[in-house]
Amino acid sequence: MRIVDIFQQLPSLDGFTQITEVHKGYSPDTKYLVTVGETRFFVRLANVAHREKRKNEFMLLQELEKQGVKTHKAIDYKVLQEVHLTATVIRFLEGIPADDVIQQFTDFEQFHLGLAAGQQLRKIHQVSAPPMLNWEATQRKKFSAYWKAYQQGSYHIPQEAQLLSFIEAHLPLLKHRPVTLLMTFIILPYLVDVTASPTASGKSMAIFRLLQTIHFGSFMPYMWQ
């Protein structure tokens, strides 16, 4: 089925005039900017095998809107069984990635931008995490994966033993931790974890993720990766 035919099944895209594929992001999903009248929408097509994850992400956006968070607006979600896809339609925030312009602002302006971001973060933290999420099990599994990836590399940091000892000593603190949404930057047209650099090498990323393990009590919704 052609992309045009798929979009014609989505009421929110009725009368679209332009389709532009988006090549940014890390997921295998196909992404598009679709113009309807004067409005541009972000459309994600994902394998139907991931329908629960995409549905949860859609519902999360709806919950963030209820909290008054300045984020993308969830418009439409549909399972297209005949083509084994799910379609998510988002009305996104127009803007420029902060990394591209932040140096143009004075320290005073940057401070107030950070203050405004903190106000949004406070609203985000009002959203409850999924009750079925076992934070301790999730983070221990992540730590094991990151440690394995680190060991497979040829470089080892001088403080490796101290780092590992510190993490292992603090893993028990994962028990019964409160779980909240983690702050992220929204960069059109995908969401990027502020704790990860897309330019980092696989080796340095593994080290960085090991350090991340000690950040307890956060739930990261990977929506537009």
> Both 38 and 82 in a single domain?
yes
Burial class (CB in 10 A: 0-12, 13-18, 19+), 225: middle
For 50, which DSSP code? G
Among 27-31, 83-87, 157-161, which stretch is predicted with the lowest mean pLDDT? 157-161
- Same-domain check for residues 158 and 191: yes
Task: Report, as an integer, the average pLDDT of 187-213.
Answer: 37
User: How many independent structural domains does the chain possess?
Assistant: 3
Please report the pLDDT score of residue 131 as a whole number.
Answer: 66
- The answer on 87 and 8 residing in a single domain is yes
Are residues 106 and 48 part of one domain? Answer: no
Query: What pLDDT score was predicted for residue 206?
Result: 45
Q: Do 109 and 34 share a structural domain?
A: no
Q: pTM value?
A: 0.63
141 & 215 share domain: yes
Residue 210 has pLDDT above 60, yes or no: no
Per residue in 114-162, pLDDT (tens digit) is: 898 888 888 888 887 666 667 888 888 888 998 898 888 888 888 888 8
Q: Which domain holds residue 47?
A: 3-91
> Per the domain annotation, does 225 fall within a domain?
no
Structure confidence at residue 173 as a pLDDT band (50, 70, 90): confident
Are both 144 and 212 inside the same structural domain?
yes
* pLDDT of 222 above 80: no
130 within a domain of the structure (yes/no): no
HSE-up (13 A, CA, CB side) for residue 19: 16
Are 3 and 13 contacting, i.e. CB atoms less than 8 angstroms apart? no
Beta bridge partners of 36: 39
Asked if residue 202 has pLDDT above 90, the reply is no
Longest dimension (CA), the chain: 61
The total of other beta-carbon atoms located within 10 Å of residue 62's CB is: 11
- Nearest Cα residue to 51 out of 82, 26, 87: 87
The yes-or-no verdict on residue 219 having pLDDT over 60 is no
Please, which pLDDT band fits residue 41 given cuts at 50, 70 and 90? very high
73: left (phi over 0), alpha (psi -120 to 50) or beta: beta
**Residue 95: per-residue pLDDT:** 80
Q: Residue 177 in contact with residue 136, Cβ under 8 Å?
A: yes
Domain assignment of residue 224, yes or no: no
Q: How many Cα atoms are found within 13 Å in the side-chain-facing hemisphere of 30?
A: 13
At residue 183, does pLDDT exceed 90? Answer: no
Greater model confidence, 140 or 203: 140
Do 106 and 170 reside in the same domain of the chain? Answer: no
Q: Do residues 90 and 107 lie in contact, with contact meaning Cβ atoms separated by under 8 Å?
A: no
